[in-house]
Amino acid sequence: MTGDRKPPAINNAAPNQASRTKLNRRKFLAKTGGVLAAGAFGAVPLRGWAADAINIGALYPTTGSMAQIGTGCVAAAKLAVDMVNEAGGIKSLGGAKLNLIVSDVQSDTTVTRTETDRLITGNKLSAIHGCYASALTLIASEVCERAHVPIITGSSSDQLNKGRSYTFTPFARASQFAKAQLQMAKLVSEQAKVAVIFENTAFGTSTSNGLKELAPGEGVEIVMFEPYSAGFTDASPLINKVKASGANTLFSLSYLNDLILIVRTVKQVGLDIAINGGSGGFVMPDFYKNVGKAAEGLQGVAHWNHDVNEDAQKVNAEFRKRTGEFAFEYAGGLVAQTFMLADALERAASADPKKVREALSTLDVSSGYAAMAPGGKVKFGPDGKNVYGRPVGVQWQNADLASIFPKEDARAPLMKT
Amino acid sequence: MWETLAQAVINGLLIGGIYALVSIGVTLIFGVVKIVNFAQGEFVMIGMYISFFLATQFGIDPLVSLVVSMPVLFLAGVVIQHFLIRRVLGPNDMPQIFLTFALSLLLLNLSLMLFSANYRTVHTSYSDSAWHIGGLYIPVAKLIAFAVAMALSGLLWVFLRTTDLGRAMRAASQNRDVAMLMGINPNRVFAVAFGTALALAGAAGSLLMPFYSAYPFVGQVFVLMAFVAVVMGTLGNVMGALVASLMMGIAESLGIQFVGADSGLIVVFGLLLLTLAFRPSGLGARRGR
């Protein structure tokens, strides 16, 4: 994948010519701000950051249990790089093209650590994006911090904004998702009575506690709060309990397979209840394929949706042409992230990862593909969090995801079920 | 109150029918061939994928595809018995344990590679429908699955009681050595037993497909319950496994309903320990032994 990089000029030119080139370059670099001095890289600048393609690392699980979303992310990353390159690349670097280097982290935290390390040491990277799954991104982010390579990610874990300076999160955080979900419950009924069911490991427990803490402040009553063991064979007993609780909205913090079973069982029971399936697998095209018509009217939250603005719709059309599916939240978010990187590279006029980090930290966009996010603006705070970031409430309507919340981002009315 | 209770019992009974098909297979193999088949769950998974692909490629209803999945898995069972299991039957248990365990891992990872970890669901006209009687509801797909599971268990029962081959299998399961001395061909009996067990797993897969998603790890969900039922219903006892499976289903459902949604397995294993404490050989053991 890195084979197309030119070897140092020193090695394949005539000796005296080479030393002259070297001297000239050194002088040039020293004058333009001393990229050379920027790190302990020594002769690295000689390899010619300026004219060569700019390497962007992409860490995604394309095999293993998270492969499905990971593969979609890679497709989106390729689309994004093509879009930047077709638009003329990075102009301040002489129209340098972005070069995507994809690495499979195999849905595994240990592999993520070694692959991130390998990617950074084996290639001259300007920035990295990945890994979509928070558990993996946390690890990759640690490695990037130590290696001083900026990482930009759609992962929502609030942990990514703690004590890090090379990690950038342009989209809504997990803590914001809970609040949005509670507010959406009030769209259904002013007297929101919510049943919260959650799988009893880290993901479900932490998210449900967030909901419980925020509920009183949002004027939402939680009438049932029930952990369950993931991977059950039958959702009927659980739904039987939800029915008895008298709730009018159901929050299900579940892995995909459980959620499919829960939704189907609710329909079988004939229970009249609004379901909010949260984010993750719920807002993926595959969910609708599995649940079918029963998914119509189900609500969820996402950090990006393909109807947020016209640019997003263009990206969606192109992504659909390439993959046959609509651009899911991570896919669309990734295109925006790539354009944020392009914006930073443009302003940094350098492929040095440290300069790219500097430029990212002063990013401030409100138009174009880089600003294609709920809220429409991106500017990073000192914690790497987009100060304008907010989640968007979505609903399955006619086999597609429509943005319905908040008012500013709503592109379709709430479908009553 | 009675309504909730009745609904919980119905839910448990219906899923118990599926546990029964898996556990009867395990107990049949253990009874006759005297090995524990750790790969039983993976054969349920294969049954599900067969039904899934027949449904999506040829539009065949998962319940109809039973007539494909059962013979295919029966043949697979005979082949596996003949070429793999037969070679490791001997005084030492270890190779047998590793063989079926390796088979389980192989099939699991093979299906991960071939089908990926995605969930696959089939939609039928009856998938999401249910009959409402009074305040109760009975999901159609699960009721059909339960009925077919009970019918297949009944057929197996009749086969074991009335046919020569069935009697030979029962004889082999009661005392293998004496059965051999009586002129029963062990290889034939073992092959039929293994094939039948796998056919039942395949049936469970096809019956699950209208209301459950297929994915490579799906077998593991069901096989745990099956093992509990096999031990509780006395190893090798088909009727015991059937009754214990239904009990497990009901216990799990009642546990979720009245104790807590994450306590289904606690209730099930509590019940297992209680049973073993008072009847160490399980519920199906004959008295005086």
Tokens of A198: 């959650």
Q: Does A224 touch chain B (CB under 8 A)?
A: no
Please give the pLDDT value at position A52: 83
Q: Across residues B150-164, what is the average pLDDT? A: 94
Contacts of A185 (CB under 8 A, 6+ apart): A192, A194, A220, A249, A251, A274, A276
Based on its alpha-carbon atoms, the radius of gyration of chain B, rounded to whole angstroms, reads: 19
Tokens of A412: 């379709």
Q: Which of A64, A233, A265 sits opposite B222 (nearest CB)?
A: A233
Question: What confidence tier does B124 reach under pLDDT thresholds 50, 70, 90?
Answer: confident
- Does residue A35 register a pLDDT over 50? no
Question: What confidence tier does A34 reach under pLDDT thresholds 50, 70, 90?
Answer: very low
- The predicted complex's ipTM stands at 0.82
Please indicate, yes or no, if residue A414 is contained in any of the structural domains.
no
A267 with A402, same domain? yes
In chain A, pLDDT over 70 holds for what percent of residues? 88
Please give the pLDDT value at position B221: 85
A287 with A183, same domain? yes
A125 with A156, same domain? yes
Please give the pLDDT value at position A242: 92
Please indicate, yes or no, if residue A2 is contained in any of the structural domains.
no
A259 with A240, same domain? yes
Is the CB of residue A409 less than 8 Å from the CB of residue A184? no
Question: What confidence tier does A27 reach under pLDDT thresholds 50, 70, 90?
Answer: low
Instruction: Compute the mean pLDDT over every residue in chain A, rounded to the nearest whole number.
Output: 86
Q: A15, exposed or middle or buried, with CB in 10 Å at 0-12, 13-18, 19+?
A: exposed
Written as one string, the DSSP assignment of A102-153 is EEE-TT-HHHHHHHHHHHHHHS-EEEEEE-SSHHHHHHHHHHHHHHT--EE-
Q: Which position has the higher pLDDT, B157 or A174?
A: B157
Q: Across residues A233-262, what is the average pLDDT? A: 89
A290 with A320, same domain? no
Q: Does A205 touch chain B (CB under 8 A)?
A: no
Q: Does B209 touch chain A (CB under 8 A)?
A: no
Please give the pLDDT value at position A44: 42
Backbone angles phi, psi at A76, to 5 degrees: -70, -40
Please give the pLDDT value at position A268: 85
Please give the pLDDT value at position A51: 56
Please indicate, yes or no, if residue A194 is contained in any of the structural domains.
yes
- Does residue A18 register a pLDDT over 80? no
Please give the pLDDT value at position B287: 52
Strands A392-397 and A400-405 come out as antiparallel
Distance of CA A280 to the CA centre of its chain: 11
Instruction: For residue range A277-323, list pLDDT tens digits in order.
Output: 988 788 988 889 888 888 999 999 999 999 999 999 999 999 999 99
Count of structural domains, chain A: 3
A189 with A128, same domain? no
Q: Is the dihedral of CA B201, B207, B212, B216 positive or negative?
A: positive
Q: Under an 8 A CB cutoff, do B119 and A229 touch? A: no
Instruction: For residue range A265-287, list pLDDT tens digits in order.
Output: 998 888 989 999 988 788 988 88
Is the CB of residue A265 less than 8 Å from the CB of residue A236? yes
**Helix (H), strand (E) counts: chain B:** 12, 2
Residue of A nearest to B265 (CA): A229
Please give the pLDDT value at position A398: 92
Q: Across residues A371-394, what is the average pLDDT? A: 94
- Does residue A216 register a pLDDT over 80? yes
Contacts of B79 (CB under 8 A, 6+ apart): none
Is the CB of residue B186 less than 8 Å from the CB of residue B172? yes
CB pairs under 8 A between A and B: 98
Q: Which of A240, A256, A289 sits opposite B8 (nearest CB)?
A: A240
- Does residue A126 register a pLDDT over 90? yes
Please give the pLDDT value at position A2: 42
Backbone angles phi, psi at B138, to 5 degrees: -125, 110
A219 with A313, same domain? no
Q: Under an 8 A CB cutoff, do A233 and B12 touch? A: no
Strands A125-130 and A54-60 come out as parallel
Q: Under an 8 A CB cutoff, do B137 and A238 touch? A: no
A134 with A149, same domain? yes
Tokens of B217: 């790890």
Q: Which of B18, B213, B257 sits opposite A257 (nearest CB)?
A: B213
In this structure, what CATH number is given to the domain that contains residue A216?
Answer: 3.40.50.2300
Instruction: For residue range A339-354, list pLDDT tens digits in order.
Output: 999 999 999 999 999 9
Q: Which position has the higher pLDDT, A41 or A391?
A: A391
- Residues of chain A in contact with residue B257, where contact means CB-CB under 8 angstroms, are 237, 240-241
- Does residue A12 register a pLDDT over 60? no
A235 with A159, same domain? no
Please indicate, yes or no, if residue A417 is contained in any of the structural domains.
no
CA distance A169 to chain B (A): 28
Please give the pLDDT value at position A24: 59
Question: What confidence tier does A134 reach under pLDDT thresholds 50, 70, 90?
Answer: confident
Question: What confidence tier does A26 reach under pLDDT thresholds 50, 70, 90?
Answer: low
CA distance B195 to chain A (A): 25
Q: How far apart, in whole angstroms, are the C-alpha atoms of residue B25 and residue B39?
A: 11
Give the largest Cα separation in chain A, rounded.
Answer: 87
Question: What confidence tier does A63 reach under pLDDT thresholds 50, 70, 90?
Answer: confident
Please give the pLDDT value at position B83: 94
Domains, chain B: 2-278 (1.10.3470)
Instruction: For residue range B180-238, list pLDDT tens digits in order.
Output: 888 888 889 999 999 999 999 999 999 999 999 999 999 988 998 899 999 999 888 89
In chain B, pLDDT over 70 holds for what percent of residues? 99
A156 with A249, same domain? no
CA distance B80 to chain A (A): 28
- Does residue A223 register a pLDDT over 50? yes
Domain that residue A207 falls in: 175-302+393-409
The residues that bridge with A102 in the sheet, in sequence order, are: A58
Instruction: For residue range B24-83, list pLDDT tens digits in order.
Output: 999 999 988 889 999 999 999 999 999 999 999 999 999 999 999 999 999 999 999 999
Instruction: For residue range A163-207, list pLDDT tens digits in order.
Output: 999 999 999 998 899 899 999 999 888 888 999 999 887 778 878
A62 with A37, same domain? no
3-state secondary structure of A97: coil
Helices B140-162 and B238-258: crossing angle in degrees, nearest 10, is 160
- Does residue A65 register a pLDDT over 50? yes
Q: Is A135 left (phi over 0), alpha (psi -120 to 50) or beta?
A: alpha
- Residues of chain A in contact with residue B252, where contact means CB-CB under 8 angstroms, are 234, 237
Q: How far apart, in whole angstroms, are the C-alpha atoms of residue B168 and residue B171?
A: 5
Residue with tokens 């959702």: A235
A250 with A235, same domain? yes
Q: Across residues A373-383, what is the average pLDDT? A: 93
Q: How far apart, in whole angstroms, are the C-alpha atoms of residue B137 and residue A268?
A: 8
Q: Under an 8 A CB cutoff, do A233 and B213 touch? A: no
In chain A, pLDDT over 90 holds for what percent of residues? 61
